[in-house]
Each structure stands twice: as structure tokens, then as C-alpha cells.
């Protein structure tokens, strides 16, 4: 298989098994303010920046007729739950092996995540192998004008690596992330979560160039 100029990786749900924890934290926080989030709305939060999710959940709370908390009030409930749950996030199958293989092949890599710096440092701390990726575009990056599903995160990552987006392979698990990578012009590899309903999986497949059951399935020469 022809090698890419660079590989661009999402973090949550792609390299680390964090998405169920994020969903639980948002669900519990919304319930605290009187809103029960159905599965489709929780899926809609996946892959997006925290600030964008705060705005969305506050909108949903208002639409349900409940008193809308401030962003700070919502995060004061959601963040402690998320931080507690995320301590136990495990690596996704094949993640470490793939990064080590790409390093050995001297393929450039970047982390392209909607999580902010503090959250990324906390999640990565138990997993030193994630330090293989030194270039990182984070959700609170000062050079980032818009988050996923806008193409900006992947365009910024390619620019920093000095490569053309069309020569990059982007690895994602969320619809927002896949659409972001496709809009940037990357070759999009998607590893869907096993819990996705059929309709969500169909939308995800439509934004992918290649589907993988796991990162273990990618073969490089």
C-alpha cells in the first residue's frame, strides 16, 4: 500500500476509548438541569469541541422548557464527572501498534482533536506511547478559527507538517470528524463505534473513503 505523506489522528474514540465516558458525563450533566438526552443527541455531540457542545446542550435545555444554565454552571457539573470517568480510558485496539509502526516508517503524524490542552494532557498522561505524536492541533488552539466538522483542524495540521491535505490519511470515528477531514481534502479512514445505530453508521460511511473494523486492520508496507 502506498504510504501517505502524513497521518492525522483523532483522539477520543479513535486512539483512546473515551466516547462512552464523554457521553455519560454530558448525559448526567443535562439530567441535572432537567433534560434527558436521547442517544441521537448524544451522538451529535461526538467529535466536537467542548465549547460547541456546551452551546448545543444549553440550547436543548432551553428548547425543553427548562431554565438554561450558564456555560460555567453546566461545565461545573459536567467536568468533574468527565474527569473522574476518563481516568480509566483504555487504548483502542491497534492504536499503539499503528503509531509505533508509522514512527518506524518515518511517516509524519499529527493529533487532531476537539479536546482542549488540559483535557488532552490528562487523557494522555497514563499512555506515554501517545507522545510518539508530537504535532498537535487541539480544540482550544489559538490558531484554530473553527472546530470539527469545519475543515480547519485538518487544514491546520497539514500546514504545520508541511504537507498537502490530499496526501494525508485522516483517521476518525465520529461524523463531525469524518466530515471535517473530507472537507479538508484528506483521505478519510473511519473506525465506527460498534454501538452505532444503522442510520448513524450509514451517515458515517458516506463521509469515509475507507472503513476499518479497528486500527489493527490497517496494513502498511
Active site residues: 10, 12
Residues 6+ apart with CB under 8 A from 84: none
Sign of CA dihedral 92, 96, 99, 102: negative
Letter string b/e over residues 142-153, b meaning 16 or more CB atoms within 10 A of that residue's CB: eebeebbbbbbb
Short-list 24, 13, 25, 193, CA closest to 91: 13
CA 158/CA 31 separation, integer angstroms: 39
Contact 14/192 with Cβ under 8 angstroms? no
Q: State the number of CA atoms in the 13 A half-sphere of 124 facing the CB.
A: 20
Parallel, antiparallel, or unpaired for β 168-172 and 187-190? parallel
Burial label, 125 (beta-carbon count in 10 A; 0-12, 13-18, 19+): exposed
Report d(CA 25, CA 43) in Å as an integer.
13
Cα 77 from Cα 58, distance rounded (Å): 13
Amino acid at each position: 500500500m502506498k504510504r501517505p505523506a502524513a497521518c492525522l489522528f483523532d483522539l477520543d474514540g479513535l486512539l483512546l476509548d473515551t466516547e462512552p465516558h464523554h457521553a455519560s458525563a454530558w448525559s448526567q450533566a443535562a439530567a441535572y438541569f432537567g433534560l434527558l438526552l436521547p442517544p441521537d443527541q448524544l451522538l451529535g455531540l461526538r467529535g466536537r469541541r467542548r465549547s460547541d457542545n456546551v452551546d448545543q446542550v444549553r440550547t436543548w435545555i432551553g428548547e425543553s422548557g427548562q431554565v438554561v444554565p450558564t456555560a460555567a454552571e453546566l461545565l461545573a457539573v459536567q467536568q468533574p464527572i468527565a474527569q473522574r470517568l476518563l481516568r480509566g480510558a483504555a487504548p483502542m485496539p491497534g492504536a499503539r501498534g499503528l503509531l509505533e509502526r508509522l514512527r518506524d516508517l518515518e511517516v509524519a503524524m499529527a493529533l487532531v482533536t476537539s479536546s482542549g490542552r488540559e483535557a488532552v494532557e490528562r487523557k494522555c498522561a497514563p499512555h506515554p506511547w501517545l507522545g510518539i505524536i508530537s504535532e498537535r492541533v487541539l480544540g482550544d488552539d489559538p490558531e484554530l478559527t473553527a472546530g470539527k466538522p469545519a475543515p480547519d483542524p485538518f487544514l491546520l495540521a497539514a500546514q504545520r507538517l508541511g504537507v498537502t491535505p490530499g496526501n494525508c490519511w485522516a483517521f476518525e470515528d465520529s461524523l463531525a470528524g469524518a466530515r471535517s477531514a473530507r472537507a479538508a481534502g484528506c483521505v478519510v479512514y473511519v473506525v465506527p463505534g460498534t454501538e452505532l445505530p444503522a442510520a448513524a453508521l450509514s451517515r458515517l460511511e458516506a463521509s469515509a473513503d475507507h472503513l476499518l473494523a479497528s486500527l489493527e486492520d490497517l496494513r502498511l508496507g
